[in-house]
Structure 1
Amino acid sequence: MDYTLIKWNKKNYEIFIDELKKLQDEKYKEFHNKVIGAEVEVIGLRSPIIKDIAKKIAKGDWKGFLSQKKGKYYEETGIRGLIIGFVKADKKIIKEYIEKFVDEINNWGICDSFIGNLKIIKKEKEFFYPLVKKMAESDNQWKIRFGLITLMSYYTEKEYINETFKICSAVKNKEYYVQMGQAWLISTLFIKFRNETLEYLKNNTLDNWAQNKAIQKIRESFRVSEEDKELVKSFKK
């Protein structure tokens, strides 16, 4: 199939899914199932293959592709998300598709790979910030994680740091991947804004588990001095 030329409809979309299955790597499928740790059906395709397909679709009838009914496969959903990051379109249109796609996220792998490919946010931080903040303030675990990991990926800058601390503390959701998102965000901020993050670790309303996991991740980092690794231990809750 030439993904750049197809005008997508139900029939050729079904053929597309069959084509994906033919590319299956059984060993990778077993490995990926363990890594994802979620109840999703995995075909077993490596990331370079998925990205290459998404890039080609993004150059063609990408809106037609995304209008097809969402299927059940991990890779299928992953391709949909990657396309949104690859398309050349107005930022307002991309924002609309981001909002729609976040509703499809049901595991950390799709969430984080989607965010990693949204390079437009890096270029348009101010425009996308209200959306990112709104997601982090949601009551849906995957929207919250989307907000937290996007802040970590694109907003670790001086002008956003105080607001980021507030957003992180305001999250009260106890789901594992939400709290891991909080911990990852704080540990990343520590590397870039050591003094500010030390003050935050001294006084915040973070859940005990999230605070202690953040400290663990700081201590595991190769970019943190041995002195600071010992220092942050004193802030365990």
Structure 2
Amino acid sequence: MPDAMTIDTLIRNRLHELAEPRLAEFNRRLMPGVGRHVLGVRVPSLRRLAAELARRDDAAGWLATDPAGMSFEEVVLRGLLVGRLKTDADTWLARVAAYVPLIDNWAACDIPCSSFTAIRRQAERGWAFLMPYTDSDEEYAQRFGLVMLLDHYVNDGWIDRTLARLSATPTHGYYAQMAQAWALSVCFVKYPEKTLPHLDGGSLTPGVRRMTLQKIAESRRLTDPWREIIRQMRTRQ
């Protein structure tokens, strides 16, 4: 079986081949506070590489290697690979939990979260797993929990619990607040009647409420009657 160094070398070589210096500079400006070197690899390329790596016998071993010194793209690739590799529920949740501390910017959170679809197959257990993250006072851990609700729990079976959680959760830091507003805006577009009471007289902070209404107003999927209601709510702020 190939060792972790073999796959590590392959990954770094491939990422450097795919790197675009101009894109790296652009991405750095979009991710304030990113603490890792940014190579400038496009997300579709990272997804394709993750799919390729998932077919290797040594992929799971790479997830267990020390992440010190990894580039931003290597971290995101690790998250995407967690989403790709099939395993039992305990192992999968442990891998997700190990990934969360590596998040130090919104992109390292949001890109892999959408690929964590395995949580839908164990939705009740997944919900319990996410609750400590939605309650976290660490900005990016909390963003992770909120984005996971957005990606996997805004549906008919979970919308009531998701709305209750989103509207009652105090958020810590700009990027957690933005995740809360983003998630609530998606809830409103999909379930306006259910979401409206959580926005009008709910327990949201004025800042999160303002961001939520703005994001709803920007949606192209909003029907005209609901758009007018949102416009009126914004004028009352």
Query: TM-score with structure 2 length normalisation?
Result: 0.89
Residue 45 of structure 1: aligned partner = 41
The structure-2 alpha-carbon separation of the partners of 1:14 and 1:193, relative to structure 1 and needing over 3 Å to count, comes to same
Unaligned runs of 5+ in 2: none
- 1:168-179 alignment runs, 5 A limit: 168-179=166-177
Runs of 4+ in 1 over 4 A off after TM superposition: none
Q: How does 1:27-176 map to 2 (within 5 A)?
A: 27-39=22-34, 40-60=36-56, 61-70=58-67, 71-176=69-174
Question: Counterparts of 2:217 and 2:17 in 1: how far apart (Å)?
Answer: 43
Which amino acid letter does the alignment assign opposite residue 193 of structure 2? N
Instruction: Report the counterpart of residue 3 of structure 2 in structure 1.
Output: 7
Counterpart position of 2:193? 195
Q: Kindly tell me the number of residue pairs found equivalent between the two proteins.
A: 232
Answer whether contact 2:146 2:180 (CA < 8 A) is retained: yes
Deviation string, structure 1 residues 85-126 (Cα, Å, up to 9, x no partner): 000111221011001111111111010011111121233322
Preserved contact between residue 54 and residue 79 of structure 1 (Cα < 8 Å) = yes
Cα contact 1:136–1:145 (8 A) shared by 2: yes
Please give the per-residue CA displacement for 1:54-102, whole angstroms capped at 9, x wherever unaligned: 2222222122101211033110101110000000111221011001111
CA distance in 1 between counterparts of 2:52 and 2:14 reads 15
Q: Distance in 1 between matches of 2:2 and 2:53?
A: 8
Per the alignment, residue 16 of structure 2 pairs with 21
TM-score calculated relative to the size of structure 1: 0.89
CA contact (8 A) 1:151 1:164 kept: yes
Shift of 1:45: 1.0
> Per-residue CA shift, 1:167-200, capped at 9, x if unaligned?
2233323411111111111111111211111111
Stretch moving more, 20-29 or 208-217: 20-29
Identity, % of aligned positions: 27
Q: Is the 8 A contact 2:7 2:62 kept in 1?
A: no
Tell me the secondary structure at the aligned position of residue 38 of structure 1.
coil
**Structure 2 SS opposite 1:124:** helix
CA contact (8 A) 1:136 1:144 kept: yes
**How much does 1:128 deviate?**
1.0
Q: Secondary structure at the match of 1:103?
A: helix
Give 1:12 deviation, angstroms. Answer: 5.9
Give the direction of change, closer, same or farther, for the CA distance of 1:15–1:218 in structure 2 (3 Å limit): closer
Change (3 A) 1:219 1:14: same
- Provide Cα deviations, 1:135-167, integer angstroms capped at 9, x if missing partner: 111111112111111111111123423322332
